[in-house]
Amino acid sequence: MAGKVATFVFLLGIGGAGEVMLVYRDRGPWYAENGVDLAILGWMVGASLAVAVLIGALLARVHPRRRLRLGASAGVGLALCLVMTGIRWFFPAPTVAGANAAFEVGDVGAAESELVAAEARGADPLETAALRARIRAKYEARAAQSPKRQTDDERMLASLGEFSLKTDTNTVLERRWENPDNQALAQARVLRRAQAQLDAAWLERDAFALRRIAAQTQGLDPAFTRACELRGMFAEAESCLQRENLPCVAEGLKLITAKQAEGAEGEADPPALPLELAALFDDFETAASTLPSADAETDS
């Protein structure tokens, strides 16, 4: 019976020792990081053991002298553990001098946590104020030297051109911009990139590339998209003419005429395209007029 009670008391004491350690750590960051919480836990566990032995000695059926010796030993052990816990509770203690030492070696975080703990213990206000000013100046100097944090708008602007035109168009139209001026700047950059690709594709009369540019920039600028589509149709019709596929040319010219009719009021066709369209019409009419005569010569 005495053994069971002593064991229960010891286990209960271990739980209490843990609570005492947590109370010590909760005194502030300095105590949690630089304190002696494990030492306090150890001494409190020792005190729990001493209490358990003392209670066991009182309840055990042993000779009175043996009970007295066990009780005295447990009492001395308990007193020693409590005294050492008290000493470790107050020593070591945070000081302004310790905070200054940490600051001098460059550990500003440790210096600040020890300074806060020292202030809570009633340190000299003049000394704490002087050190706090030095810590603040150190933080400000670090902030001035560190690179400026980019905003979301700046990151999106920097990402333009890294991926496809479609991705850039989605960035401009679908992402949330904090500043409308930045969104307008992004739109202008994407249009410049698209215009460069359009010029290269138009020079090569690459109908597929022209249609792709129109699709990837859909919604960015209606006039630009219409210009891409018209040029793509023209390049396709011109390719059909070179292959002497007159039905394909006729269909292409029909699509071009319809697309021109869709233009907004006052919206002009792409520069130089009307003249090239006129030339294409002439070439088509010439080819269409000569084709029957060529067939007739073949029949004859």
**Burial of 240 (C-beta count, 10 Å sphere; 0-12/13-18/19+):** buried
The reply to whether 231 and 141 lie within a common domain is no
Contact predicate 89/121, CB 8 Å:
no
Same domain, 157 and 287: yes
Among the candidates 116, 146, 176, a domain finishes at: 146
Token digits of residue 108:
């500003």
Question: What's phi and psi for 218, nearest 5 deg?
Answer: -60, 125
247 within some domain: yes
Q: Say if residue 202 is in the same domain as residue 283.
A: yes
Domain extent, residue 212, equals 153-291
For position 23, what pLDDT does the model report? Answer: 92
pLDDT in tens, 92-144: 889 999 999 999 998 888 888 899 999 888 889 999 999 999 999 988 888 77
Within-domain flag for 299: no
pLDDT tens track for 16-68: 999 999 999 998 888 988 889 999 999 999 999 999 998 888 888 878 888 88
Q: What are the distances in angstroms from CA 280 to CA 78, 102, 200, 242, 243?
A: 108, 83, 20, 11, 14
Task: Read off φ and ψ for residue 61, nearest 5 degrees.
Answer: -90, 80
CA diameter of the chain? 145
Residues 77 and 102 in one domain: no
Q: Which pTM does this prediction carry?
A: 0.48
Judged by DSSP in three states, 216 sits in helix
Round to whole Å and give the CA distance between 216 and 165.
6
Domain count, the chain: 3
Model confidence at 273: pLDDT above 60: no
